[in-house]
Each structure stands twice: as C-alpha cells, then as structure tokens.
C-alpha cells in the first residue's frame, strides 16, 4: 500500500497526479517502485486488484491511470459536494512489468486533498495493489 498524509490541504490541479509519498511496511520488496513524482511502477506482470482512496477537502473527480491514460475498465470516483468527502475507486487490472499507476484529478477544476480533520491526521490518498494472479 502507498499513501500520502498531510497536516494541511494539498491542492491538486486538474489533470495532475495526486502524489503518493509513503510505502507501507507490508509492501513486498521488489514488487513495486514508488517514484519521485508520486506514481508507482509495477515490477511484476499479472492481474491486480487496485483500490484507490482519496479524501478531498472539496468536490472533485479522481481516476486511476495506467501509463498516463485511463484504462478501459471502471477507474473513477467522485466527491460530489463542496463540503468534501471520500472517493473510493476499486478496479481489477491486467498490468505488465514497467506499467506506471497513478491517481489523477480527472476533473476540469482543481481540487484539494484533505489535511487534518477533527484533530486527526489520516491518509488523504491511498493506493492498495494486490496481485491476484
């Protein structure tokens, strides 16, 4: 699992990558590479369950991209209220070694990832990748 957490709201421009910054301890060594631009490279081909979670401070649309483009399967989620909320994007993808996964603000306007809420610092973006086959 990869995630980002911040104590302040993080603006994400339309079309920009929502950065991932931390790899969880349970990420198998060598299976994935966390890149400096907030994307993740898959190092082993296979069929994967890919789940993205985004906590937005305001409305926004987010998508899981593979190699900078939308895959041909369900890959989006939205926070439809100006008060903010959580978008969860579950999908199953066939990925090749070298494919790059990212969470992207797929909307037409900037959005912000939620920082501290009610005194609690949580992961404002998270990407879980599980190899199924």
**pTM for this predicted structure:** 0.88
The whole-angstrom separation of Cα 42 and Cα 56 is 26
pLDDT at residue 84 is higher than 70: yes
Label residue 21 by pLDDT band (50, 70, 90): confident
More confident residue, 60 or 101: 101
Query: What is the per-residue pLDDT across 53-67, written as a single tens digit (0 to 9) for each?
Result: 999 888 889 999 999
pLDDT at position 53: 93
pLDDT on residue 23: 73
Q: Residue ranges per domain, the chain? A: 2-131
Residues contacting residue 133 through CB under 8 Å, at least 6 positions apart:
46, 47
For residue 109, name the pLDDT band (cuts at 50, 70, 90).
Answer: confident
Segment 21-38 mean pLDDT: 80
Write down the pLDDT at residue 9: 86
Asked if pLDDT for residue 8 goes beyond 80, the answer is: yes
CA distances from 106 to 57, 67, 68, 69, 114 (A): 16, 15, 11, 11, 17
What are 20's two structure tokens? 């991932």
Give the confidence band of 114 by pLDDT, cuts at 50, 70, 90.
Answer: confident
The pLDDT of residue 85 is above 80: yes
CATH architecture under which domain 2-131 falls: Sandwich (2.60)
What residues does 41 pair with on adjacent strands? 33, 100
């Amino acid at each position: 699992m990869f995630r980002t957490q911040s104590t302040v709201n993080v603006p994400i421009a339309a079309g920009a990558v929502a950065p991932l910054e931390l790899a969880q301890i349970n990420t198998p060594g060598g299976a994935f590479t966390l890149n400096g631009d907030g994307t993740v490279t898959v190092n082993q081909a296979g069929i994967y369950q890919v789940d993205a979670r985004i906590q937005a401070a305001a409305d926004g649309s987010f998508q899981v991209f593979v190699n900078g483009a939308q895959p041909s399967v369900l890959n989006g989620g939205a926070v439809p209220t100006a008060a903010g909320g959580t978008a969860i994007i579950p999908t199953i993808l066939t990925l090749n070694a070298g494919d790059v996964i990212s969470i992207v603000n797929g909307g037409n306007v900037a959005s912000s990832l939620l920082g501290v809420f009610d005194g609690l610092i949580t992961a404002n973006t998270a990407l879980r990748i599980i190899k199924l086959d």
